[in-house]
Structure 1
Amino acid sequence: MTVNDRERPTHVGFLLIPDFALLAYASAIEPLRAANRLSGRDLYRWSHVSIDGHPAPASNGVSIQADYGLEEGRFDYVVVCAGGNPAAFQHGPTFSWLRQLARRGVRLGGVSGGPYVLARANVLSGYRFTIHWEHAPAFLEDYPELDLRRSLYEIDRDRLTCSGGTAPLDMMHAVIAREHGSELALAVSEWFLQTHVREGAGPQRMPLRERLGISHGPLLRVVGRMEQSLENPVGREELARTAGVSLRQLERLFRLHLGRSLGEHYLGLRLDRARDLLRQTTLSVLEIALACGFASASHFSRAYRQRFGHAPRTERTPSADPVWR
């Protein structure tokens, strides 16, 4: 690396996929601006890339003006920002461009649904990475062989991925610390009122205690086991043994703390997972039924209609083709 290379700002390209998550994008780009401001130097510069060179719409309707289309610009990093339903994104030129960047040694990143796009481009094989928890079930159906982690962020050699939301603040803290020292990284985090910088391996979701608003330990153990066993549901007696109480007592605990029976809660978890898979994958109704612990498509369809008021297939009612198809 020459002196000029060391003095040249690191150029970060943000590839904005239509319906990208604005908060995750902002949490990734703002630390770069803060690093420049607080260091008094141009450590980073950034540009926006869209798949057609036109303004890119975020999921909330805000559009960002693109500086480049695909195949334009020279970058040190390219960070893919996606949201909505990244599993539905199919755009060959984007995938081809990302593979070209990988071959040239450009560091590639993805935030929120961005890692789904990287996987579609086949540039995540051999790397550990993460993705937003909402997209994880569909992703695992599509790419069971890849090394998906349920962490806040992952930095593995020249790949950096983040689950989204505000977690890019934590990831960029790690990037800035690695490239320009922990003192500057801490100053950036303090500037954004980050009183606690989270480690990459931290959990994406709140603990069950906070999510459900209950503090009953045995009940929390049971619900946690349910959430981990949606494809192969655990029997009621086994769940009671997990709690260390009788089945009758466990039923009382569900009614008292959650306002529904054990069976109703478990069924609700499985149907919520099924709805996500219907919306985010091309799996058949039968495949989704089996993936969510139902013995048949007919049983699944009856339960689905009873919970949501319509048949599973209606979740896939075709809409206007997105501009990127």
Structure 2
Amino acid sequence: MLVPDFPLMAYAAAVEPLRAANTLSGADLYRWWHAAPGGGPARASSGIAIPTDVAVGAAAPGTDRVFVCAGGNPAAFDDPALSAWLRDLARSGAVIGGISGGPYFLARAGLLEGRRCTVHWEHVPAFEEQFPEADVVRSLFEIAGNRVTCSGGTAALDLMLHLIGRDHGPGLATGVSDWFLHNRIREGLSPQRMDLRQRLGVRDPRLLRVLAAMEANLEAPLARTTLAALAGVSVRQLERLFADGLGHGLHRHYLGVRLDRARQLRRETALTAAQIAAATGFAGADELSRAERRRAAGTAARQRTAEARDRPEGP
């Protein structure tokens, strides 16, 4: 099931291992069909269109697994007909799965209540706000009985290799992995994101402890003294660690993390401005708006400075 603006990377990572399993085994182990809300070709976020051959709501006899692949802003796409069809397929005995933003559609259909599941890290804050009854973890993929969820991207390749191994043995799964130059099949519980050391290029363990605490405390931001205590240094020393390790101060970094989360929530949820402000540690919508305007102005000023610096001098 391809929802408009689905991520082509995740789709290909899910389908290509099945094709490879057929090729390497010399047998027709897997067959698949495509469907899309509203019918017609399904267009990926890159603009590439995939023809569909099954209508939403149609009988799908012999279907073992159904995966919803979605990206963009899945919270904004609500299709009651799709939800009803997923429930019907689940009742018929099919395993129902979601890839990248696809778990949104499973949750909206009531298929993830009390289930352990995952979703792309970018969607997690909004997903948790909208579906508190789901047990969300930040893993690559989760298999919870007849529900399968995957965070998307290349994690879909690891999920399919795992399923191929379960269906037809680890030898075939390893062969498919080798064929795609994928030299390590990751476990489902592997983390989605690089750790902070790699993501921010930070090595100092004191600074890493503070950065992790910041990301974990956005609704009620921690005081500078609390963060300094976590690092085991004074506030002045902590400011120096930020300047040396990241090139900017503690306040600017913490504010940036909170504003990034606010932007995510605004893009992916129907939360009000006041609710988004509360979820990211601002006193109200006005304070959040002022902070966003200040950051935009600061970014524009730094861009102008960089352009002036790089501009060639006249004769």
How many Å separate the matches in 2 of 1:296 and 1:177? 51
Equivalent AA in structure 1 for residue 8 of structure 2 = L
Per-residue CA deviations over 1:233-269 (Å, capped at 9, x if unaligned) read 1111110011111110000111111111101100110
Q: Tell me, which stretches of 5 or more residues in structure 2 are unaligned?
A: 298-315
Matched, 1:260 2:256: no
User: Which residue number corresponds to residue 191 of structure 1?
Assistant: 179
When normalised by structure 1's length, the TM-score is 0.89
Query: Structure 1: which amino acid aligns with 2:286?
Result: S
Aligned position for 2:131: 143
Specify the SS of the correspondent of 2:214.
helix
The alpha carbon displacement at 1:296 in A equals 2.1
Q: Indicate the residue corresponding to 2:32 in structure 1.
A: 46
Residue in structure 2 matched with residue 177 of structure 1 by the alignment? 165
2:88 to 93, 100, 107: 100
2:41 maps to 55
Aligned match of 2:66: 78
Q: Please tell me whether the aligned partners of residues 120 and 151 of structure 2 are also in contact (alpha carbons under 8 angstroms).
A: yes
For 1:29, give the aligned amino acid.
V
Q: Where in structure 1 are there 5+ consecutive unaligned residues?
A: 1-14, 310-325
Cα offsets for 1:105-148 (capped at 9, x unmatched): 11111110000111111111132110000001111110122111
Aligned pair 1:213/2:205, yes or no? no
Amino acid at match of 1:25: Y
Work out whether 1:285 is the aligned partner of 2:307: no
Tell me, in whole angstroms, the C-alpha distance in 1 between the residues paired with 2:222 and 2:77: 35
Alignment of 1:18 with 2:4, yes or no, is: yes
Separation in 2, partners of 1:90, 1:21: 18
Letter in 1 for 2:170: S
In the TM superposition, what is the alpha-carbon distance from 1:216 to its structure 2 partner? 1.2
Paired residue total: 296
Aligned to 1:108, what secondary structure does the other structure show? Answer: strand
In the TM superposition, what are the counterparts of 1:290-305 in structure 2 within 5 Å?
290-305=278-293
Report if the CA contact (8 A) 2:71-2:102 is conserved.
yes
130-139 or 64-73, which deviates more: 64-73
Which one-letter code corresponds to 1:118 in the other structure? L
Deviations 1:276-302 (A, max 9, x none): 111111111111100001122221121
Query: In the alignment, does 2:125 pair up with 1:154?
Result: no
Could you say what secondary structure the match of 1:215 adopts? coil
Q: Distance in 1 between matches of 2:289 and 2:17?
A: 47
> 1:215 Cα deviation (Å)?
1.0
Deviations 1:79-115, CA, capped at 9 Å, x for gaps: 1000000010111111110111111111111110000
- Equivalent pairs: percent with the same residue? 57
Q: State the alpha-carbon separation in 2 of the partners of residues 193 and 228 from structure 1.
A: 35
Residue 34 of structure 1 aligns with which residue? Answer: 20
Residue 306 of structure 2 is matched in structure 1 by: none
Larger CA deviation: 299-308 vs 178-187: 299-308
Aligned partner letter, 1:48:
H
1:191-245, Cα deviation, whole Å (9 max, x unpaired): 1111111110010000111111121111011001100111111111110011111
Q: Which residue of 2 aligns with 1:5?
A: none
In structure 1, distance between residues paired with 2:122 and 2:18: 27
- Alpha-carbon contact 2:57-2:82 (below 8 Å) kept: no
* 2-structure distance, mates of 1:126, 1:175: 23
Superposition misfits of 4+ residues, deviation over 3 angstroms: none
TM-score by length of 2: 0.92
> Aligned AA for 1:113?
G
Q: Which residue of 2 aligns with 1:110?
A: 98
- RMSD of aligned Cα (Å): 1.2
SS in 2 for 1:267: helix
| Alpha-carbon distance between aligned partners in 2 of 1:217 and 1:28, rounded to the nearest angstrom | 37
Query: Which residue in 1 is equivalent to 2:310?
Result: none
Aligned equivalents of 1:202, 1:48: Cα separation in 2: 29
Q: Secondary structure at the match of 2:34?
A: strand
**Aligned-partner residue type, residue 176 of structure 2:** V
